[in-house]
Amino acid sequence: MDLEIGEQVDLVIGRFTNVGISVLVNGEYEGMLYKNEVFKRVREDQKITGFVKFIREDGKLDISLQPIGFLNKIGENENAILEKLKSLDGGFIGLNDKSSPDDIKYHFKMSKKSFKSAIGGLYKAKLIVISSKGIHLTEDGE
């Protein structure tokens, strides 16, 4: 197998299982998208792009729809949050690190862990303020 962890691959969505979604990778390898890591709607036979997350001993692949690696995810997630805040009147959304995972997934299509990491980075960069009511843009973030 000539694939590496983190490599971008072409996927064809296959069968939905209790664990996740089986996928065909680059037209020749078997892979799995775990359902707790899929934050957008996909359908059987849909062609999308993914990333190799892990290569198992049995030759099967664990696949992610997000780029692999902390820095890639944070950059994309931070950008998604900033764009959403900029599109809202007053640059405010009633979500914070105490919000439910379902609310975060609905609004941002990411896990609560990814959301918390992203808002932490935005807060450190002084682009947002986090309060008990939610998050809002600072003047630097606008």
pLDDT tens by residue, 114-126: 899 889 988 888 8
**Residue 44: which pLDDT band, with cuts at 50, 70 and 90?**
very high
Give the right CATH number for 70-137 from 1.10.260.40, 1.10.10.10, 3.40.190.10, 1.20.1250.20. Answer: 1.10.10.10
Specify whether the CB–CB gap between 12 and 24 falls below 8 A: yes
45-93 pLDDT, tens digit each: 999 999 999 999 888 999 998 877 644 555 788 888 988 998 888 899 9
Our CA dihedral for 47, 52, 53, 58, rounded to 10 degrees, sits at 100
Per-domain residue ranges of the chain: 8-64, 70-137
Q: What CATH number belongs to 8-64?
A: 2.40.50.140
Q: Cα–Cα distance between 82 and 118 in angstroms, integer?
A: 10
Q: Kindly report the pTM of this predicted structure.
A: 0.56
What's the average model confidence in pLDDT over 21-39?
91
